[in-house]
Amino acid sequence: MSLRIASGTANRALASKVSSALGADPLAGEVERFPDGELRPVVHGVRGDDVFVVQPTGPPVSDHLVELLLLIDACRRGGAGRVTAIVPYFGYARQDRRSRDGQAIGARVVATAVASAGADRLVVVDPHTAGLEAMFAIPVEALTAVPAIANALLPDVTPDTVVVAPDLGAVKLAERYASLLGLPAVFVRKTRVNGTTVRAEEVVGQVDGRPTIVVDDMISTGGTIEATVRLLLDNGARLDVVVAATHGLFAGEAVERLARLPLRRLVVTDSLGGVESLALPVEVSSIAPLLALTIGRLHRDEPIDDLLAGA
């Protein structure tokens, strides 16, 4: 089976970096959009191939998701020998439980759709929920960008620096950064008021007079980072705050919000398109080498244990 990289429209720049790193030509294909908004992706010449479909499901999440499903189906119907969905940012992962009556479990619905469309395997990067794989009937490989981002943060490490988890859900992630950087971790108690507003209520741990590195899996509206940074400053943390997250969605007013904060560095990966062209001094730690390494090994049926989030 020949290795082929198919790209949706969500992040063609990433797909092209991955293809170059692998020395593979990206598959020719196009996406038609009908006047009513329907999408029709077309892929050519995949019969018998080992196809990797690169399509993060960032904003607009539902359009990118439908495009992913149709691309997988197109590869399957085109006779691909194996189809792997490379979805570095997996939208709907935050809907992994019902927080009140009447809600759906979006992550589970999307998982079923991806498997039913015909994917043999899914590859994600630092998914919001560690339990994502359990929702799927197909194997899920959860890679991590944390070692690469931590490496980019090394120049900021001083003996008194503290890693901050902006909520309880980020504690494990903060501990991973803390262990890679040789630093202590503290966490913030956060309450979500609605989709765009959160309340950062208390810092659990010492930040007074210290430089801080706030880490999260994703930045969406920037509400979590804004509330956390303001609370850290109120608690006497040093003004030069560093923020790092795997996925930069920068939805809604995120750019304006983050621009108002005294951030020394803001580091994200290129899991989502467009981060390089934001009106913010964002530093990008590319996941293309990680994806290329993973795809190469999966293609050759080699182990990838050392690249996984749980490693």
- Residue environment code for 204-215, b if the CB has 16+ CB neighbours within 10 A, otherwise e: eeebeebbbbbb
Least distance to ligand R5P, CB of residue 128, Å: 6
The DSSP secondary structure of 94-128, one letter per residue, reads: T-SS-SSTT---HHHHHHHHHHHHT-SEEEEES-S
Q: Give CA 184 to chain center in angstroms.
A: 24
User: How is residue 270 written in tokens?
Assistant: 């290129």
CB atoms within 10 A of CB 3: 18
Residue 73: count other Cβ atoms within 10 Å of its Cβ: 17
Q: Is 107:132 a contact under the CB 8 Å cutoff?
A: yes
Residue among 50 and 226 whose Cβ is closer to ligand R5P: 226
Q: How far is the CB of 239 from ligand R5P (least distance, A)?
A: 21
Q: For the chain, how big is the Rg over CA atoms in Å?
A: 20
Q: Which residues are near ligand R5P by CB under 6 A?
A: 128, 166-167, 169-170, 198, 216-224
Minimal distance, residue 167 CB to ligand R5P, in Å: 6
17 catalytically annotated? no
Strand partners for 185 = 163
Q: Minimum Å distance from CB 223 to ligand R5P?
A: 4
The residue among 33 and 97 lying less far from ligand R5P, judged by its C-beta, is 97
Nearer to ligand R5P, 154 or 193 (CB): 193
Q: Identify the active-site residue in 64, 190, 247, 299.
A: 190
Helices (H), 163-279: 171-181, 223-234, 254-259
Tell me whether residue 78 or residue 91 sits nearer to ligand R5P (CB atom): 91
CB 185 within 8 A of CB 210: no
How far is residue 265 from each of residues 35, 85, 154, 155, 255, measured CA to CA in Å? 42, 32, 12, 11, 14
Which of 42, 168 has the CB closer to ligand R5P?
168
Q: Please identify every residue annotated as catalytic.
A: 190
